[in-house]
Structure 1
Amino acid sequence: MSIESKLRSLRSSSIVVTVFALLLVCAGLVQIGLGGLAVSKEYERIEKVEQMARQSATFYGYQSQRSALESEYNRSSTAFFLEGRFMPATDGLTLGDPAVIAAIALLLFGLGFLVAAMIWVWRAHGNLSEAGVRTRYGPGKAIAAYLVPAVNLILPFEAMRELYNRSHGEPEDFAHSTVEDVTAWWTSVVVGLLIFSAMIVKFMLDAGTSLIIMTPIWMEFTIIAFALILLLLAAYLFSGLARKITAAQHEHLHEIAASAPEMEEPSRMSVNVITS
């Protein structure tokens, strides 16, 4: 495949990444809005529970009922998320509810974005390799950097920084120079994932142990919404990087390929016979 064909494929991948990123951002913002509506309804439910708990007992077993109501109230912040009450519905959740549709769309667009992003990463790194550019991260290693647990907290940042600099014609010595856009993208990814991880640990402690970390529902929702916004921002920033790197390769890849040193064939060993 010629360089022109590879560049066209890269541009197509960049467009697909951008489309999925925009769809993902829209679905995420809709989900946050629906979650805010659910929080408002949850506070109305809690107010009704408190009113019932304050009423005088007129039947046997009131103390038991009140204890159950207080227990439900105390655990409501975690149950709000674990039981799916963050998706508002009038009479139970069905596939036709807007909240369910938004959640499914968010999942599908997120999956589509990840697949499109990995295809673009493979093609972008592959173009540099085909042009004879010496890089630390080839296509296979770059994909592995995103998929292997633990190392994917560091290596994707390095791979993207190298890809950005080398695609813009930077020499090998400056392949890992600071790029503000790359730093902003990866900061959003890491901080968003760390916040989500902390909230998951909190939910597991509340649901699986006798330790209950009491936090207001609005606070937990705000924290999770902030983490989701960071990840949506990361997707948008990634699409921006994809467009910039694609444009840079269209501009510089021909020059890079022309100036790249050709691979020399290894010379055959020779023996000089000296006769006297």
Structure 2
Amino acid sequence: MKASNLRVPALVVTVLSWAVIAFSLIYAVTHTAWLVSYTQMMESPVMLAVGSFAALLNIFVYLPSIIAVLVWIYLAHSNLHRAGVEGLNYSPIWAALSFLVPVANLFVPFKAMRELANRSAGEPMELADADVDEVFSWWGCWIGSMVVGMVMAYTILVTIVPWLWMTTPFWANQVIVILASILTAGSAFFLIRVVKLVTDNQIDGASMASTFE
């Protein structure tokens, strides 16, 4: 078994993640500029159009990036299991699919990724739950984007119910959208670092590198 099976998936995740970062930040910057011009009664439709186009492109990139990440997670965990690493708490399939399971997706992916990072670095099972800065930062941004997304969904739901009305100011709704884009970009950025950390350790950088030869 060769840990080099992570090279291509890691590259795909990295490329797609950088695309998500770019489109998310373009949207955040242009939408912020549009919101400022709107509040000053000098609305800039060009900025709004650029931001909307970036958001559209982001949708087409974001969906395949999710698949790529799940594939990478599955393979990375599989490498540990195939190498005979003892004391692993998460199977490859559960580590990947836990992202799609309500409630479990609030904590299982984080714990599984933390274990993956630590054990790939050659840490003993006693330190499987030790803090990993890259994983913590990635997960913080990811959870933040999920929470903001839920707030956005709530505001949309309220506005479509005939007998309810939305009390949140228009500008506040726009700020929420901008914040969601920034958090998404942050999550993608730290994910790139996590993927690099784990991939490098499994291939040639860890103290247990010989296990993956």
Q: Counterpart in 2 of 1:126? A: 78
**TM-score, with length taken from structure 2:** 0.86
- Work out whether residues 35 and 88 of structure 1, in 8 Å CA contact, stay in contact via their aligned partners in 2: no
Secondary structure of 2:141's counterpart equals helix
Gaps of 5+ in 1: 49-86, 259-276
**Aligned equivalent of 2:173, options 220, 224, 229:** 220
- Equivalent AA in structure 1 for residue 60 of structure 2: L
Question: C-alpha distance in 1, partners of 2:195/2:51?
Answer: 31
User: Are 1:116 and 2:61 counterparts?
Assistant: no
What SS does the aligned partner of 1:137 have? coil
Structure 2 gap segments, 5+ residues each: none
- How many angstroms does 1:185 deviate by? 1.1
Letter in 1 for 2:66: L
4+ aligned runs moved over 4 Å, structure 1: 40-44, 87-90, 97-100
Note if contact 1:37-1:88 (Cα within 8 Å) is conserved in structure 2: no
C-alpha RMSD of matched pairs (Å): 2.7
Kindly indicate whether the alpha-carbon contact (under 8 Å) linking 1:153 and 1:190 is maintained by their aligned counterparts in 2: yes
TM-score, length-scaled by structure 1? 0.68
Query: What SS class does the counterpart of residue 169 from structure 1 fall into?
Result: coil
Q: How many correspondences in the alignment?
A: 210
Q: 2:107: which partner in 1? A: 154
1:49-60 pair list within 5 angstroms: none
The residue type paired with residue 125 of structure 1 is H
Kept in 1: contact 2:201–2:209 (CA 8 A): no
Q: 1:106-128: per-residue Cα shift (whole Å, max 9, x none)? A: 00111121111111101110110
Percent of aligned positions with the same letter in both sequences?
28
Q: 1:189 aligns with which of 142, 147, 157?
A: 142
Q: Is the 8 A contact 1:169 1:256 kept in 2?
A: no
The structure 1 residue matched to 2:21, chosen from 15, 25, 29, is 25
2:18 is matched by which residue type in structure 1?
L
Contact residue 30 and residue 102 of structure 1 kept, 8 A? yes
Pairing 1:255–2:207 present = no
Shift of 1:195: 1.6
In the alignment, does 2:56 pair up with 1:104?
A: yes
The whole-number CA distance in structure 1 between the counterparts of 2:81 and 2:199 is 15
| Structure with the higher fraction of residues in helix conformation | 2
Query: Partner amino acid for 1:166?
Result: R
8 Å CA contact 2:118–2:130 kept in 1: the answer is: yes
Larger radius of gyration: 1
